[in-house]
Structure 1
Amino acid sequence: MGALTLKQFSDELREWEFIEGEGIDPTDSFGVSLRLSIRENQIFLAEPNDPSTPWLTDKGRLFFDGMFDKSSSNQTNWESFFLDISELMYFIDHLNLHKRNAYSFIFAFENLSLETLNMLYLLKQNCSLIELRKVESYKGLNDFEAQYQLSSSTDKPKLHMSTLGILINTNPRYEGYVLNLNLRQRFLKGNFKLLNIGSMLDLTFPIYNLGSNFTILKSLAEGVHLSCQDVKNAEFPVIITNTELFKRNDAKIFTEVLKYTSVLDTAWNGVNVLNHNIGSVGIQSLNKFLPLSTEDFINFFGLYYINVSLNSTANIKKLVELHLLDIFKSNSTLSNKIFVDQNTNSLNELVYGKGQHKLFNNYFHLPTSLFLEDNETYINTQGSIKRTTKLINFKKDSKTNWQITRKFYANTKSVLFFNNTRDNSLINFDCVNSFNFKNYVNFQFYAVQTLTSLSFYLTKRNLPLLKPSNMNIKPTRTKVLNTKVKGWLDDFFNGNGKDSFSYNSSVLVNCSKIMRSSTSNFF
């Protein structure tokens, strides 16, 4: 007698009909390697493929549920769109020539690959009307790689040398489960203590919570805290924080404060910054992009969102609501503004409907390819190079982000802008083939010995630059705010906008509702 299985299960999952492929997990900043089972251009099963990390969260297993949308959509007239945009930008450029306050075209992006990010940077250099903005409202430090990514101190060989860890406003179980597994394995070996400054967390192993006030760091530096003895006697201590900490105005001095506690010295740098998505490190590696602010919503003639959902991003949602209340209303603002939504699905159409004929007059949806429909490259939070391969071909009318941005770049090259005389003399890289463009991306991001056709694919990890110990630069004065750090809620299924897949997955949304209703009483 055979095994008792459901008839529906046997009809859906037949292993001999699957095509195996390799991909990465886009729901966190590590990009763990996955083994995907594909049939009829759809993903049915995701399993871990990295021998060193044989673990995968529920988000990594079920994120593809929100990728496939079988609803019928209208065909996109690509030629008409680029023609209208070129004419509008040419008209605005003439208007800016005779106007004191120039109008701008705001490009807001999140979760971009290195190829698309470099093409956007070339587009900004070629056209002075375009302003590049991040979605998240934090101003991190990116002078050195050690200021925005995890250092080698979190690797298993060096982590075994450490006897103390300090978490500052971060939840590694939620943001980076690979790091949480390494901390758990280090704790089980013994002689390791983990201190936490923030909310009470359940990391599946014991931790010591010091409180949630930011002034605890000040007391550690002054030597009046009870845990100062643990810090003083620790060997190779490790400090882990995240990019959410840099939303505070006084966050840039926390490394300076830790120097007085003997946590950091010239021989050991244990500061680690955990990112929240797979594309955050690449954005900080190229340039220091400013976040969206209220000043950007005063003089603009169009918003161009790339991989952004307004309903799941608190910063943009607040700015749009303020704009609908005429907070930024002035006599110099344009009444005819355009809204361009470059996403896999028309996620922002409902938000456009609220501001139609008041904030925007035209809406364009540019369908982009899915996550596994293009060959893309990312830098994870450890500095390793993660690449995706094209495994499926689900959306027929869609284009990749690199193709759309390059077409936009080609149209701006054919238009003569009056206010762009300085940028027109710059030498830009123009290439039709995306594979040759990858070598330019490699040259932009990393120092290589030779620029050949294989230099991009041979690069496995960036070489981080550390801050020299002999730099005696007087820092600016910063006022420390006596407030609490961000409070964490244990919600592992819904990413709250940190990735582009969790909030659109029906399975993860239902799991999140069940978990919040059973574990808390304030939802």
Structure 2
Amino acid sequence: MPKLTIDGREIEVEAGATIIQAADLLGIEIPRFCYHERLAIAGNCRMCLVEVEKMPKPVASCAMPVGEGMVVKTNTPVVRKARQGVMEFLLLNHPLDCPICDQGGECDLQDQAMAYGSDKNRCQEGKRAVPDKDYGPLVQTMMTRCIQCTRCVRFISEIAGTPVLGGLGRGEHLEITRYVGAAVSSELSGNLIDLCPVGALTNKPASYTYRSWELKKTESIDVMDALGASIRVDTRGNEVIRVLPRVNEDVNEEWLSDRSRFAVDGLKRQRLDRPYVRKDGKLVAVTWPEALAAVAAKLKGLNGSQIAAIAGDQADAESLLATKDLLAALGSANLDCRSDGAKLDASVRASYLFNSTAAGIEQADALLIIGSNPRKENPVLNSRIRKRWQKGGFKIARIGHKGDLTYQYEHLGDQASILKDIAEGKHPFFEVLKSAAKPALIIGQGALTRADGAVILGLARKLADAAGLVKDGWNGFNVLHTAAARVGGLDLGFVPGAGGKDTAAIVDGAAKGEVKALVLLGADDIDMKGLGDAFVVYVGTHGDAGAHRADVILPAAAYTEKSATYVNLEGRAQQTRLAVFPPGEAKEDWRIVKALAEALGKSLPYDSLKAIRQRLAQAAPAFAAIGEVTPAAWGAAFGAEGALGDGALVSNIDNFYMTDPISRASKTMAECTAAFGGGCNHKHKKTGTHG
């Protein structure tokens, strides 16, 4: 490991590291525009020039590897003059529109111009202008501001895996543009905005609506998919303006999917802001006491077997626990958090976790994907798989629909019988997994929601044992969830008790009149038309399918409007924080359930957020370790034996941009659906390119 000296301070770094990386380790700031630690080195902005002893002129520190005994100076008169010259060139053609630029206040170019800019301009020629490009409904372009750092080009090619951007022209005429006929339809395209060091790429849905210094910033987590990415919610007044990713190396690095970032306008559309009761076939606004009394009047005459509850994809752990406790008090075992009918086994924790963890998937050297499309189901996690694939020595195979996942894989077919052949050692890919040091599989909800889902789960378990997917320090058995609430619900045992009904049986029982009252905890994806004459209580945020069917609506808070706990697909408990208050008379979900219990004459043993979280920690170990992965022991059997169905394995997500009440209420997501056709593997109607 070479040693070098930077500004009189000695440091030892790994061989191959660059000067700018060594300086960052020391906390010495070197300005940069093109360099980014997660992207390939370009070395084209020259802002990071430094002096190195025995070298005749300043060198670009981002592209210069360190050497033994190297002496570097980052703040000499020569360096400052060089950086001032670079800044003068960068500002030659930059428009003077900082006062109206959305990047104002957060602009790297502004910051460096303050430090290295001049008060004079020696260039007398007119500034050039560059036509704006159409990057779709999410990214606003103002290409005259572009300084050709190529961060966007490198991100879309390297990280996102959809190489549709490039440079056109040379010298002063260089422009960053789309390839002919290509649409910027990556599910990660919003990260281009964060990467752009100037105002060339900005947030299109929120353009000209805010100034960065007006916004209140709240650290939270995302619940639009099961990864639980770390986010920052920026608000003004009681309105969410934007959502940005936070750096979390273990979960999402610093990336965020487009749905998580841009669906925020759905938080203020079609909201439920007051209780409603259906009278004479129409929903009528009422007070909270009237709504709770209406529910109590219907439920008090029923026995436990006639009452049921189904939890939706964004239900928080506190409300799941309160609802489970309420149903237990009412004598009902009819409850389920698997609203899509997934055949997951809540009794064996390792059977429903992404056991290798999001960061751990980068250690795998062979991967089998079963009935899943990671690119649509979890784009940020998919970028991790691509990152590992780019390093080489990573064989990937897929059973399911054939489509572009942004990395090369062997398509084995789409029938579940192929998995059986692999599990029994009859398929060549079995040897690939068995010979790998850290083999892994990912089984998606598309496989588990089938009628034979339990059999497929059992075959995946059989394969894991036969091919050695679980060994000392490694568990390669992974379930890819699409619902933020699912793992928390399974951890809490929000599944049918002894003699209880699951989602399918509850719906069937409602149709037959056996289930007379049903509580929907934000569940909108079940068959509402099949509920017969059942009395439906909907606790939710939006006027979605559940609200249309409900007899009583109790308005709840969205994830930005409450402090709530979720468990991500790895088994990592995380908490959201209240950024804005719920609209109108809406309340936190668990408080609604507690109020409902009191109206029914039942008492729940907690009356504060602290108390219910203590109860959570007692109910499941994961809730006692916030922010940490609670691993699951491997050993207990799960899955089932039986015959496999004939249908093809497909992903359970058709439209990436609309998967939940928030995104379905979003105008921006509707525009994305119209432009890109629902995500990858759909052809763009105008250009014919794959989105």
TM-score normalised by L of structure 1: 0.79
User: In the alignment, residue 28 of structure 1 is paired with which amino acid?
Assistant: D
1:98 alignment counterpart: none
Among 225, 232, 239, the residue aligned to 1:42: 239
Shift of 1:481: 3.0
Give the Cα–Cα distance (whole angstroms) in 2 for the partners of residues 75 and 474 of structure 1: 47
- Specify whether residues 24 and 170 from structure 1 end up closer, same or farther in structure 2 by C-alpha distance, changes over 3 A only: same
Counterpart position of 1:342:
539
2:649 aligns with one of 485, 488, 493: 485
Q: Which residue of 1 aligns with 2:572?
A: 384
Alpha-carbon displacement from aligned partner over 1:53-79 (angstroms, at most 9, x marks no partner): 111121011121111037886753111
Structure 1: unaligned runs, 5 residues or longer = 94-101, 324-334, 353-361, 415-427, 448-454
Asked if 1:465 is matched to 2:632, the reply is yes
The structural deviation recorded for 1:476 is 6.3
Size of the aligned set, in residue pairs, is: 458
In the TM superposition, what are the counterparts of 1:139-288 in structure 2 within 5 Å? 139-151=343-355, 153-156=356-359, 158-248=360-450, 249=452, 250-259=455-464, 261-264=466-469, 267=472, 268-287=474-493, 288=495
1:91 aligned counterpart, secondary structure:
coil
CA contact (8 A) 1:139 1:291 kept: no
Distance 2:641 2:546 in 1: 44
Given the superposition, is the C-alpha separation of residues 132 and 232 from structure 1 closer, same or farther in structure 2, using an over 3 Å criterion? closer
* 2:618 counterpart of 1:437: no
* 8 A contact 2:266–2:663 mirrored in 1: yes
**Does residue 1:109 correspond to 2:311, yes or no?**
yes
Larger CA deviation: 431-440 vs 278-287: 431-440
For residue 509 of structure 2, the aligned residue among 285, 295, 304 is 295
- Measured in 1, the distance between the counterparts of 2:510 and 2:378 equals 32
**Aligned residues of 1:25 and 1:34 also touching (Cα < 8 A):** yes
- 1:126 paired to 2:329: yes
Letter of the 2:231 partner, please give it. Answer: L
Q: Secondary structure at the match of 2:268?
A: coil
Amino acid at match of 1:87: A
Deviation at 1:373, TM superposition (A): 1.4
Distance 1:369 1:339, change over 3 A: same
CA distance in structure 2 between the aligned counterparts of 1:466 and 1:434, rounded to whole angstroms: 30
Question: 1:412 corresponds to which residue?
Answer: 600
Structure 2: 5+ residue stretches without partners: 1-94, 103-203, 275-283, 497-501, 686-691
Deviation for aligned residue 1:30? 1.0
Q: Which residue of 2 aligns with 1:423?
A: none
Shift of 1:218: 2.2
Kindly report the root-mean-square deviation, in angstroms, between the aligned alpha carbons of the 2 structures.
3.1
Equivalent position SS for 1:501: helix
Report the CA distance between 1:131 and its aligned residue: 3.2
Q: Against the structure 1 CA distance between its residues 348 and 261, is the aligned structure 2 distance closer, same or farther, given a 3 Å change threshold?
A: closer
Q: CA deviation at 1:214?
A: 0.8
Q: Could you say which residue in structure 1 is the equivalent of 2:558?
A: 370
Which letter does structure 1 place at the counterpart of 2:96?
Answer: G
Q: Which residue of 2 aligns with 1:331?
A: none
- The superposition leaves residues 307-332 of structure 1 with CA deviations (integer Å, 9 ceiling, x where unpaired) of 122xxx2x424634xx4xxxxxxxxx
Structure-2 residue corresponding to 1:507: 668
Whether contact under 8 Å (1:218, 1:257) holds in the other structure is no
Match of 2:229 in 1: 32
Cα–Cα, structure 1 residues 125 and 103, in superposed 2: closer, same or farther, change >3 Å?
A: closer
- Contact 2:557 / 2:588 at 8 angstroms: preserved in 1? yes
Cα distance change, pair 129–88 in 1 and its aligned pair in 2 (3 A): farther
Report the CA distance shift for 1:463/1:516 in structure 2 as closer, same or farther (over 3 A): closer
How far residue 493 of structure 1 moved from its aligned partner, in angstroms, is: 1.6
What's the CA shift for 1:260? 6.8
Indicate if the aligned counterparts of 1:346 and 1:365 stay in contact, CA closer than 8 A.
Answer: no
Partner residue in 2 for 1:316: 527
| CA 128–20 in structure 1, closer or farther in 2 if over 3 Å, else same | same
SS at the partner of 1:378? strand
Residue 328 of structure 1 corresponds to which residue in structure 2?
Answer: none
Most deviating of 24-33 and 511-520: 511-520
Query: Aligned-pair distance for 1:405?
Result: 0.2
Secondary structure in structure 2 of the residue aligned to 1:67: helix
Give the match's secondary structure for 2:551.
strand
TM-aligned CA distance change 1:112 to 1:489, over 3 Å: closer
Q: Report the AA paired with residue 284 of structure 1.
A: L
Q: Matches of 1:383 and 1:35 in 2, distance apart?
A: 22
CA contact 2:562–2:581 (8 Å) conserved in 1 = no
CA distance in 2, matches of 1:474, 1:368: 35
State how far apart, in whole Å, the 1-side matches of 2:403 and 2:259 are.
Answer: 19
Partners in 2 of 1:260 and 1:32 — Cα distance?
31
Contact 2:538 2:547 in 1 (8 A): no
Aligned counterparts of 1:459 and 1:76: Cα–Cα separation in 2? 38
Give the match for residue 64 of structure 1.
264
Q: How many Å apart are 1:243 and its aligned residue?
A: 3.1
User: The residue matched to 1:87 in structure 2 has which SS?
Assistant: helix
2:53 maps to which residue? none
Higher relative contact order, structure no. (Cα contacts within 8 Å, ≥ 6 residues apart): 1
Question: What is the identity, as a one-letter code, of the residue corresponding to 1:432?
Answer: D
Q: Shift of the alpha carbon at 1:263?
A: 3.8
Which letter does structure 2 place at the counterpart of 1:407? A
Asked if structure 2 preserves the Cα contact closer than 8 Å seen for 1:108 and 1:292, the reply is: no
String of CA shifts for 1:13-52, please: whole Å, max 9, x gaps.
Answer: 2122111111222111011111222112111122111242
Does structure 1 conserve the Cα–Cα contact (< 8 Å) formed by 2:542 and 2:662?
Answer: no
Per-residue deviation, residues 345-379 of structure 1 (Å, max 9, x unmatched): 33348844xxxxxxxxx822211123211110010
Separation (CA, whole Å) in 2 of partners of 1:181 and 1:188: 10
Shift of 1:121: 1.2
Partner residue of 1:138? 342
Structure 1 residues 409 and 186: CA distance shift in structure 2, 3 A? same
Counterparts of 1:231 and 1:277, CA distance in 2: 28
Structure whose CA Rg is larger: 2
Give the Å deviation of 1:116. 0.8
Task: State the distance in 1 between where 2:286 and 2:560 align.
Answer: 21
Cα gap change, 1:254 to 1:10, in 2 (>3 Å): closer
371-380 vs 485-494, which moves further: 485-494
Shift of 1:86: 2.3
Give the equivalent residue in structure 2 for 1:22.
Answer: 219
**Aligned partners of 1:137 and 1:292 also within 8 Å:** yes
